[in-house]
A and B are shown apart, each in its own frame.
Chain A
Amino acid sequence: MSLINKPVRWGVDRLRLAFPEKKSMFFKDLTFHYQKGEKILLLGPSGCGKSTLLQVLSGLVPGSVELPMKAEKLDVPESWGFIFQDPDTQFCMPYADEEIAFVLENRRIERGKMPGLIRHYLNLVGLSLDDPHRLISSLSGGMKQRLAIASILALEPDVLFLDEPTALLDPDGTTQLWQTVRRIGADRTVLIVEHKIDQVLGFIDRIVLFDDKGRIIADGSKQNVLSEHRKELDKYGIWYPGVWDRFEAENPGNREKLTGLKPLLELDNFRVYRNKEIKFSLSHLTVYQGEWIAIIGENGAGKSTMVEGIMDLLRRRGKVCWRLAKDDGQAAFVFQNPEYQFVTDRVDEELGFSLTLKKKDSQMIHEQVNRVLEQFSLSEQRDQHPFQLSVGQKKRLSVASALIDHPKAVILDEPTFGQDARNTFALLDLFQSLRKDGTTVIMVTHEMEIVRHFATRVLKIENGRLVEDLDQVTDLRRKEEENGRDPGKHGQVVF
């Protein structure tokens, strides 16, 4: 009996690890332990090695991912499950039932028992599909992540490792995922790496905070760490509750009403097609200069279709009329995935690309590129390949290269998606200063704080149609008062 009562303890002693492309050690004598039943959140700036540590603790490093590492002692739990960030690359089979069956096959479960177990695990994560034989590609991101959890549960793990499982999910998907984790994780040991922590905090009891060199700077109860290390949380871009308040206190946002507006873009009887089907339609819309328009709506409602139609990237019909002077150039567009947009091999060439296309004077291009490098804090990276940059740097570069020629309007598809708090705020400050200079900002976003604080106008899309066109300053205020919501308090607001 003594064996059972003794607390089970896993972890690593004096871990040293190196990345081949970097010269310095990544972890230097890192020691970390955890016990059965603990719910732990690992926090730190992006690139500090939290994810790598999670992989070491599960044995994926060096078992599956070969990295030179050394540890005095490494205790890996006997049964564990690992949830990764990207919902699309966790599966190897085309259908949901087959994916769970894949795990059952690995465990050598008898064939006859499989269909029952598949249903059981799907029910555990709240994915009650009528027919479990459903194409994974037809599921939403949030459903895919829950399917990933279901297939991990098929391993019957004691310990769950979650590596930023909601980084690529929309707010609804995020909420449902954490509800699921709360339900299935109650009697398990859970280790979570996550930047957006407001929905995780209720569930965990211990926080480990890393600095940018991969050292543990705090390890304790969540109350202690959160209250004593605010400064680090801000510095590392963690999305802790209240971080928006701090940002919004510094940045006044857009609360004043716009007057004397000049039209910039007019859409009339506008329709956008995908595969010969109308996916978005609109009878009339006028966009004015200097507006900050937020386009909101559920996944698949047609938000991206709308902006891609405006940019003439999809087949469209109807009138699209930009009121631009000849030398204003076109509106700029920033994609969600910055990598698609890179067309050169160096950061500075990337920035100068659109200017070179316009055959501008090379001295002037050089000066302008230098200024923008400075402005977007990319000067140190100027001769790197764009693909080598960090997630935040890539985003900054893609925005910077779209904006370098001072377009009159910029359209952004979820510009802050997957970015940490620091990057998000830096981007928002930038858009704000652009708008002050007269650029019209149009963005598709899920982040309601941006909508509430910055947007001067909100377009709500539903089923491929514009269902609401709110003058933010007056309408949203009124709406909130009607709903009894306190406009000063922040939370996840879903329309």
Chain B
Amino acid sequence: MGEIQGNTDKWFFKINPSFKFLIIDALFIVYLVVSNLNTMIWAACLFLILYLAVNGFSARLSFWLIILTLWVSVFSSTAMIFFGQGTHVLFRWYLVVISEESLARGTLIGLRTFIFSLLGLIMASTSRPVPFFYSLMQQLRVPVKYAYGCLAAFRMLPMMAEEFVHIRQAMKVRGLRQKGIKAMYERIKRYALAMLAQSIRRAQRTAVAMEAKRFSMTESRTYYYEIGWSRMDLLFSGVIVAVVIGGFLLSGWFPLTPYTHVIDH
């Protein structure tokens, strides 16, 4: 997994992963209850800046992920924008009715999707799996069987990707390339069957191998990595608080839209 995170020296990698995880979770809840469109706009801008500053992906990957995130956000806002209710109608075309209110609400939902995705990206791009799960075990007392189970599963992802390529080649060789819905269904079934069969076998083997190495799900154990606390955690809290409060303050100082409470309108 380590390969897609280009620069792992950035300071966000040094934050305690559990702490980062909890803070990010808390932020999800914060922005779930915000209904001020201005706050969302400013928060989205600030988190975008934060993401660009701290993420561990390569610039290229970052760019495409942002594009993807934007696309998903726009997509999620359209349902509300096109079909929501409102009195100040701006545009009407058969079933599609765009009103000022629905536009505001749709934008809010889109921005929420965008912020949530950014938060997820910040977490995913700056956390390595091994320290993350060690921290979960040490700070949050997550049972070892889940932590090591997830780590073992992480190892299998690249193997599955490789396997997918092989199966695709094999299908091509066997002449399975007709078009049409039935052929597609047939093909998906083959892929699923071959990959499931391999994965189940692999998981079973790994589990036995882990037990053969005396992995015990109940007894206490020592840890190769000890994940502790550092000044980075303080700094991180500071930055997050600054971004969140900054978002609220800026929306008060520079309200870009009149919609401060879109749900009531």
Question: Which residues of A does B touch, CB under 8 Å?
Answer: 58, 60, 63-65, 81-82, 84, 86, 88-95, 97-98, 101-111, 114, 135-137, 151-152, 155, 308, 311, 313, 332-333, 335, 337, 339-343, 353-354, 357, 387, 401
Report the bound CA distance from A95 to B214 in whole Å: 19
Residues of A within 8 A of B129 (CB): 94
In-complex Cβ contact of B210 among A92, A311, A332, A387 (8 A):
A92
Contact assessment for B205 and A84 in the assembled complex, using a CB-CB cutoff below 8 Å: yes
Select which of A97, A104, A311, A357 is within 8 A of B175 by beta carbon: A357
Across-interface contacts of B208 in A (CB, < 8 A):
60, 64-65, 84
Q: Are B205 and A86 in contact, CB atoms less than 8 angstroms apart?
A: yes
Smallest CB–CB gap between B40 and chain A, Å? 38
B54 within 8 A of A: no
Binding site for A on B (CB under 8 A): 1-2, 129-130, 148, 151-152, 154-155, 158-159, 163, 166-167, 169-176, 190, 193-194, 197-198, 202, 205-216, 220-224, 226
Contacts of B222 in A (CB 8 A): 104-105, 108-111
Determine if A92 and B151 form an interchain contact, defined as CB atoms under 8 angstroms apart: yes
Given the interface contacts A92-B210, A93-B130, does A108 sit within 8 Å of B220 by beta carbon? yes
CB distance from B217 to the nearest CB of A (A): 11
Report yes or no: B207 in contact with A91, Cβ–Cβ below 8 A.
no
Nearest residue (CB) in A for B128 is: A94
Distance between Cα atoms of A342 and B187 in the complex (Å):
11
Known: A90-B209, A339-B198, A387-B197. 6 other contacts (CB 8 A): A88-B202, A91-B206, A136-B155, A335-B170, A354-B174, A401-B174
Which of B152, B194, B206, B224 has a CB less than 8 Å from the CB of A342?
A: B194
Is A103 within 8 A of B211, CB to CB?
no
In-complex Cβ contact of A353 among B158, B166, B174 (8 A): B174
> In the complex, are the beta carbons of A105 and B223 less than 8 A apart?
yes
B174→A64 contact, CB < 8 A: no
Shortest A220–chain B CB gap in Å is 29
Shortest beta-carbon contacts, A-B, top 5: A101-B224, A92-B152, A89-B205, A340-B170, A82-B212
> How far apart sit A65 and B170, CA to CA, in the bound complex (Å)?
32
* Smallest beta-carbon distance A362→chain B, Å: 18
Q: What are 6 A-B contacts defined by CB distance under 8 Å? A: A89-B209, A98-B224, A102-B213, A155-B214, A340-B169, A343-B176
A-B pair count, CB < 8 Å, reads: 129
A89 to B207 CA separation, bound complex (whole angstroms): 9
In the bound complex, CA of A151 to CA of B214 (Å): 11
Known A-B contacts A93-B130, A340-B166, A341-B174; the reply to A111 vs B209 at CB < 8 A is no
**In the complex, residue of chain A having the shortest beta-carbon distance to the beta carbon of B164:** A340
A387 to B200, CA, bound (A): 13
Q: How far is the CB of A273 from chain B (nearest CB, A)?
A: 14
CA distance A311 to B170 in the complex (A): 11
A345: min CB distance to chain B, Å: 9
Cβ-defined contact, B158 with A333, below 8 A? no
On chain B, the residues within 8 Å of A101 by CB distance are 224
Is there contact, CB below 8 Å, between B151 and A111?
A: no
Contacts of B130 in A (CB 8 A): 93-95, 98
Q: Which of B151, B216, B221 makes the CB contact (< 8 A) with A93?
A: B151
Which residue of the partner chain, among B172, B175, B207, B214, contacts A107 with CB atoms under 8 Å? B214
What is the distance, in angstroms, from A402's C-beta to the closest C-beta of chain B? 8
**Pairwise interchain contact B202-A343, C-beta atoms closer than 8 A:** no
Contact, CB under 8 Å: A343 / B212: no
Interface centre among A64, A89, A136 (most CB of B within 10 A): A89
Shortest distance between the CB of A232 and any CB in chain B (Å): 29
Cα A111 to Cα B223 with chains together (Å): 6
A105 to B220, CA, bound (A): 9
Q: How far is B167's CA from A357's CA once the two chains are assembled, in angstroms?
A: 19
Given contacts A92-B155, A94-B129, contact A341 B202 (CB under 8 A): no
Q: Across the interface, which residues of B come within 8 angstroms of A339, CB to CB?
A: 194, 197-198
A102–chain B nearest beta-carbon distance, Å: 7
Complex Cα gap A92–B207 (Å): 9
- B219 CB to nearest A CB, Å: 8
